[in-house]
């Protein structure tokens, strides 16, 4: 079931990433709303409409701004939405705000990375594949080798062998991309290594949040995988870091080039 779901979802994600524009922004917006809804469910705020509604409306409006190419307006909308959520969420205010920022960070970073017409698709595929092979390599290395656990209190099944296996797999993907980017071999290998580690930390972070609230899966929306949070925890962390890095080097219109061109 896990493999079958991946074989269906991965090509759809890649196709929409390739199309880019409104198609990709729409997918990202819907996923961001799903991430926020699952975060609220995990933290016990899923039935609090005074928190759910303003958060969802904020992410939807921000997505519309991103579809129109107005990244500045999206940031303003998200800032206002965060204030509204803070005022309506009561005792668990910090968790509600964290959930909105988590989803919003993934939303803006994913669109910014793809927005670059020159290297947007390559940069997005670089991040996606690094995350995917880190997960796959970690799964098979952990199952076949086993050994000492990585962090039993947070994630009982993860092993050091799995962490290293995923890391090595990410270097192979980075090397493949480097072969097509002249002069970028060392830089892309370092980026691949960094994003692999960040992806695994994102996975552990989401596990820690679920364990804090005694939840096993964020939802059951994806057969064999659990929820969007369960499936995208590593990607959210990696794409945010990648977008920040690309933005610092290439600006808002050159995030992809900032990440991939050296």
Interaxial angle between packed helices 228-250 and 93-115, expressed in degrees from 0 to 180 and rounded to the nearest 10: 60
pLDDT at residue 225, as a whole number: 62
pLDDT at residue 131, as a whole number: 95
pLDDT at residue 179, as a whole number: 86
pLDDT at residue 145, as a whole number: 86
Q: Which residues contact 174 (CB under 8 A, 6 or more apart)?
A: 126, 130, 188, 189, 191, 192, 193
Q: In this structure, are residues 260 and 249 in contact, taking their beta carbons and an 8 Å threshold?
A: no
Side-chain-side CA neighbours of 63 within 13 Å: the count stands at 21
pLDDT at residue 67, as a whole number: 93
Helix (H, G, I), strand (E, B) or coil at 155: strand
| Long-range interactions of 181-189: CB distance < 8 A, separation 24+ | 181/260, 181/261, 181/262, 183/262, 184/260, 184/261, 184/262, 187/262, 188/126, 188/260, 188/262
Taking the C-alpha atoms of residue 151 and residue 33, their distance in angstroms, rounded to an integer, is 30
What string of DSSP letters covers 192-252?
HHHHHHHHHHHHHHHHHHHHHTT-S-S-S-BTTTB-HHHHHHHHHHHHHHHHHHHHHHH-T
- Short-list 36, 34, 44, CA closest to 92: 44
Please report, in tens digits, the pLDDT of each residue of the chain (262 residues total). Answer: 666 777 778 899 999 999 999 999 999 999 999 999 999 999 999 999 999 999 999 999 999 999 998 999 999 999 999 999 999 988 889 999 999 999 999 999 999 999 999 999 999 999 999 999 999 898 888 888 878 888 878 887 888 898 999 999 999 999 999 888 755 788 999 999 999 999 999 999 999 999 899 888 777 777 666 789 988 999 999 999 999 999 999 998 899 999 999 8
Counts for the chain of helices (H) and strands (E), in that order: 10, 2
The two structure tokens encoding residue 198: 């960040």
pLDDT at residue 141, as a whole number: 86
Q: In this structure, are residues 168 and 137 in contact, taking their beta carbons and an 8 Å threshold?
A: yes
């Amino acid at each position: 079931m896990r493999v079958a779901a991946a074989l269906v979802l991965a090509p759809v994600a890649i196709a929409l990433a390739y199309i880019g524009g409104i198609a990709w922004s729409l997918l990202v917006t819907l996923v961001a709303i799903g991430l926020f809804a699952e975060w609220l469910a995990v933290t016990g705020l899923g039935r609090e409409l005074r928190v759910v509604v303003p958060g969802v409306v904020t992410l939807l409006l921000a997505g519309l701004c991103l579809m129109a190419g107005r990244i500045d307006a999206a940031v303003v909308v998200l800032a206002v939405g965060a204030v509204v959520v803070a005022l309506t969420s009561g005792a668990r205010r910090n968790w509600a705000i964290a959930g909105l920022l988590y989803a919003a960070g993934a939303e803006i970073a994913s669109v910014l990375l793809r927005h670059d017409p020159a290297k947007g698709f390559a940069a997005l595929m670089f991040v996606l594949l690094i995350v995917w092979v880190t997960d796959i390599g970690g799964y098979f290395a952990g199952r076949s080798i086993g050994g000492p656990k990585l962090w039993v209190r947070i994630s009982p099944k993860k092993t050091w062998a799995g962490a290293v296996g995923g890391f090595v797999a990410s270097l192979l993907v980075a090397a493949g991309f480097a072969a097509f980017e002249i002069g970028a071999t060392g830089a892309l290998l370092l980026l691949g290594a960094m994003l692999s580690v960040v992806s695994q930390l994102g996975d552990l972070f989401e596990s820690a949040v679920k364990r804090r609230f005694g939840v096993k899966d964020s939802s059951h929306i994806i057969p064999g995988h659990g929820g969007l949070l369960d499936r995208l925890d590593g990607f959210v962390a990696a794409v945010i870091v990648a977008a920040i890095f690309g933005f610092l080097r290439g600006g808002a219109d050159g995030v992809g080039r900032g990440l991939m061109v050296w």
